Amino acid sequence: MEVGAEIGIRIDQTLTQDATGTTAFLLFESMGAGRVQTDVSVSYVDHNMAGFGPENHNDHLYLQTVAGAGGVYHSRPGNGICHQVHLERFGKPGATLLGSDSHTPTGGGIGMIAIGAGGLDVAVAMAGGPFYLKCPKVVGVRLTGKLGPWVAAKDVILQLLGILTTKGNVGWTVEYFGPGVATLSVPQRATITNMGAELGVTTSLFPSDEQTRRFLAAQGREADWRELSADADAEYDRVIEIGLSKLTPMAACPSSPDNIKAISDIAGLEVRQVAMGSCTNSSFTDLMMAARVLKGRRVHPMVEFAIAPGSRQVLDMLAANGALADLIACGARILESGCGPCIGQGFSPADGAVSLRTFNRNFAGRSGTRGDQVYLVSPETAVAAVLTGRITDPRDLPELLGVKYPQVLMPKCFTIDDSMIAPPLSPAEAARVEIVRGPTIVVPETPTPLPEDLQGRVLLKCGDKITTDHIMPAGTFLKLRSNVPQYAKVVFNCFNEPGKPTFAERALALKSSGMAGVIVAGESYGQGSSREHAALCPMYLGVRVVLARGIERIHKANLINFCIVPVEFADAADYDRIEADDEIRIAGLVDAVRSADEVEIENVAKSMRFRGLLRLSARDREILLAAGLLSYTRGRTDARATTEGRPYPGRTGG
């Protein structure tokens, strides 16, 4: 393997969640693959839990029945957040995991190569196909020392985000090593690898060691353990040293996960809301720490406090040992074991209110409140604000309130109850399953071939760090994900102006005229969620080219999968020479996609020409020329079935 070269890896496990899974399984069905070919595939329901209208329950029933028909585990609503449950019940050191959620790298905390991807890539993996990526560079993060009282694993990844930021890390992975690693439990490691997604790296990885063995043994899965670590003389493309003993509590300030400040620098700011949960910090040890600090105390009268346990296992154990009662007694609101507020599904803050959250993202408006003031913090910093009503350095709690730091040990045995996980059916049983498809579930449209010569118009010019939340809003709109024509109506909803045609209306009008839509963007376009709808819905609206200073890995793959050509400015200054509504021409687009590394772009409105870069692998080009990954896969299926006389894909390696 050489850095930058395309590699294909065999995928042992996959996961989907309901916000991305419905589309993924519809595409999987479209391939005609039948039964999954992975060792383990799990369909989770954890995002769209609140049923305001029939859409979410329609999705749940479809996912339950299509999992039964396809040989897939199904984690039912209420069983927990996919990454927390997968860590508990399925994660396996040394295995590869591909998930249709950007925080799939959580599995790196248990020694997995766990990668987030679009649903179509996951569907191909479920059908037995390899996952393709560019061989990455590796950042080695050497950990020394040990975390002090009131300093958390969250502060480790916030420190790294302050160093690397959220952009410029495409094509890298992070590997943690050094003597400090042994002091971190699996849940602590999972917090760190989870937020590696915010760095924009391909994945993050911890070794599998005695801590890993203990965690798996406590989950009744010690047989899944194997020891894995880097060679003593391993070389890294870059090394960053983090002394755990020297870390202090930190926060990601509004409105980006890399806007890092020390808690001591922002202490005193009034807080009106605190939320603990998400796939980042909702483990048993996280919530036990909070319960012990808050036992016998009360939530500050001006603070609303909510807790969302990461899994049913966590909730059961808190209920059994009395910690849940302590949390309720202190004034906490107990939310479902799901993603909830992290994706704007309830518990939105008031206008102008500061909200502290133990989540992984604080993109503007993600909470469901326009102009929100969301700070990402550790559970320790969160409970300090719960008690004081202000951003408070938790290390000051012993002096302020006489609170001692509680040492929460990893349980020797977790409560095991998999009754909310339906196991795969046998082929004979699966053949009898009737797949339930409600009227709000619509099979996605297949992309059309690229035009030989593109004539288009710039529908939108946006700036740096445009996230998939900007492109496809979450919150109350998530229930539309199974119906692309409806969901597409809110593409770039945050840029729509009252009384003016929406982005979707302008795009459809342009499409009907026979012209293509073009999006122009700055650096780090498409960061954040793996949601392929950020490519699928623009494709439906007629967008054929994204022209940007830089495009993030998962989103770039999704654009290619849905036959939208990702082009980068050869000269970043050309970004300033193009405006919304400019007419764009690209002569010989198909020829360029076929074999060129550059394409000439004509801005008709300004009578100028400039160059764009096509950073495409040979496989990327084949997919674009085939009109997207689904058509590409179908073509290979037909060809292989004809030449080898058997169904494709089978179990393939890289």
For 318-386, the three-class secondary structure string (H helix, E strand, C coil) is HHHCCHHHHHHHHCCEECCCCCHHHHCCCCCCCCCCEEEECCCCCECCCCCCCCCEEEECCHHHHHHHH
Dihedral sign from CA coordinates of 216, 220, 221, 227:
positive
Task: Determine which one of 18, 101, 286, 574 is catalytic.
Answer: 101
Residue 559 vs residues 402, 472, 555: alpha-carbon distances, Å: 54, 14, 6
d(CA 342, CA 358): 9
Q: Return all residues near 428 (Cβ < 8 A) that are at least 6 apart.
A: none
b/e 155-171 (16+ beta carbons within 10 angstroms → b) = bbbbbbbbebbbbebbb
Q: Kind of pairing, strands 354-357 and 273-276?
A: parallel
Q: DSSP string spanning 397-447?
A: HHHHH-PPPP-PPPPSS-----TTEEPPPPHHHHTTPPPP--TT--PPPPP
> Of all helices (H) and strands (E), which one includes residue 243?
strand 238-243
Query: 47 catalytic, yes or no?
Result: yes
Q: Is 531 a catalytic residue?
A: yes
Distance CA 358, CA 106 (A): 15
With both helix axes pointing from N to C terminus, report the angle between 55-70 and 18-31 in degrees, rounded to the nearest 10: 50
Which of the following is catalytic: 12, 18, 43, 46?
Answer: 46
> Is-contact 335 346, C-beta < 8 A?
yes
Catalytic residue among 76, 357, 481, 531: 531
The token pair at 539 is 């494709």
Query: CA–CA separation, 383 vs 392, rounded Å?
Result: 9
Does residue 60 carry a catalytic annotation? Answer: no
585 is catalytic: no
101 in catalytic set = yes
Residue partners of 202: CB distance under 8 A and separation at least 6: 115, 133, 136, 171, 172, 173, 553
Look up tokens 């004539």; give the residue. 455
Q: Is 529 a catalytic residue?
A: yes
Asked if residue 226 lies in contact with residue 208, where contact means CB atoms within 8 angstroms, the answer is: yes
Q: Which of 12, 41, 47, 155 is the catalytic position?
A: 47
DSSP strands (E only) in 587-645: 598-603, 608-613
Q: Which of 132, 148, 200 is nearest to 171 (CA)?
A: 200
Catalytic sites, residue numbers: 46-47, 101, 361, 529, 531
